Amino acid sequence: MATGKPQAKLHDGNTMDIEVHGQGPTVLLAVNPTPAQGERAEEMRRWGMDPALGRSLIDGLSGSYRVVAFDYEGHVMGVPKPGTLTPDAIAADLLAVADAAGAGRFAYYGYSWLALSGLQLAIRTDRLSALVMGGFPPVAGPYAEMLAVTRATHGMAATPAAAPAGAQAGDGQEGDGQEGSGEYDWSSVEMTLSEEQTRQFVTMYEALQGFDDRAVRLDCPRLCFAGSADVIPYGERWGGVTVDIAGAFARHRAEMESLGWDVEVLDGLDHTGAMQPPNVLPVLVPWLRSVLPADA
């Protein structure tokens, strides 16, 4: 059925709507452009998230840039790719978005696993004019820890009786199990994701186990940022690991900068807080203007 919106044809043959707003240099935003409503909006607020997160980022950038927004996370949760969500396939999908928008060169912004997706894109194309990674370090990324979390998540989805009772999770904002607040009690979370939804992230992190992020050399301007309190401890049921994004930024900031990254650490913010528009836009907009002038 035609939607009137441009569509990108993805690696598995499925299509995904994209939205284009504004004029100027193109910026791909891996966000949901449609604000949440009703119970979904209330649930997001309980997690400390802006129900209109994607729309707020679009509005903050579209005055100076041609913003191409697409809900890739929502798409893969709605149309899972359990055996094919590999770095190669993700990069191909992101290029398909750029192609559908008619963008030869473009900047890219993603947060959490969508940030590491941008890094995988950057090493596979020369079309990036700028790269912004939020909530995931470009050096010393927690690939092993996230594989443990996603394997545990998949195990619970495959055997629902093993999952604990409690608050609900797994609504597309928690695609890789990492989008919640560091203060959340993960031992009490109820598994509501399907086996296919969770297995696709196991596929992704398994494919990344041999990835050496220290060996990456990029030419385009690049920014990474995270909250200084972005530390998520997972109990034994969730793999028994701690995903310490803040620690990676603290320990390896000099190394990141030596590799050409501009680095920002947002004081006092956890994983959820650092992705909210009032915290992202004051970092993202001035940086983009410095490396990608709106009149370029």
Write down the pLDDT at residue 165: 41
Q: pLDDT tens digits for 108-151?
A: 999 999 999 999 999 999 999 999 999 999 999 999 999 999 99
Among all chains, which residue has been given the structure tokens 């199990």? 177
Longest dimension (CA), the chain: 57
Q: How far is CA 39 from CA 51, 170, 181, 189, in A?
A: 10, 15, 19, 18
Q: pLDDT tens string for the chain (296 positions)? A: 334 689 999 999 999 999 999 999 999 999 999 999 999 899 888 888 899 999 999 999 999 999 999 999 999 999 999 999 999 999 999 999 999 999 999 999 999 999 999 999 999 999 999 999 999 999 999 999 999 999 999 999 998 665 544 333 332 334 454 444 334 444 455 568 999 999 999 999 999 999 999 999 999 999 999 999 999 999 888 889 999 999 999 999 999 999 999 999 999 999 999 999 999 999 999 999 999 998 76
pTM of the model: 0.91
Write down the pLDDT at residue 249: 98
Write down the pLDDT at residue 190: 59
Among all chains, which residue has been given the structure tokens 């149309």? 79
Write down the pLDDT at residue 191: 63
| C-alpha neighbours within 13 Å on the C-beta side of residue 133 | 25
DSSP state of 124: T
Write down the pLDDT at residue 3: 43
H-type alpha helices, the chain:
38-46, 53-61, 72-78, 87-100, 113-122, 143-158, 195-207, 245-258, 277-291
Q: Are 292 and 64 in contact (CB under 8 A)?
A: no
- 113: three-class secondary structure by DSSP: helix
Residues with Cβ within 8 Å of residue 119, at least 6 apart in sequence: 131, 133, 138, 213, 216
Phi, psi at 208, each rounded to 5°: -95, 0
Helices 113-122 and 87-100: angle between axes, nearest 10 degrees: 80
Quick one: CA dihedral 204, 206, 211, 213, positive or negative?
positive
Length, in residues, of the chain? 296
Write down the pLDDT at residue 296: 62
Burial class (CB in 10 A: 0-12, 13-18, 19+), 283: middle
Write down the pLDDT at residue 294: 80
Q: How far apart are CA 53 and CA 46, in angstroms?
A: 14
Write down the pLDDT at residue 187: 47
Write down the pLDDT at residue 69: 98
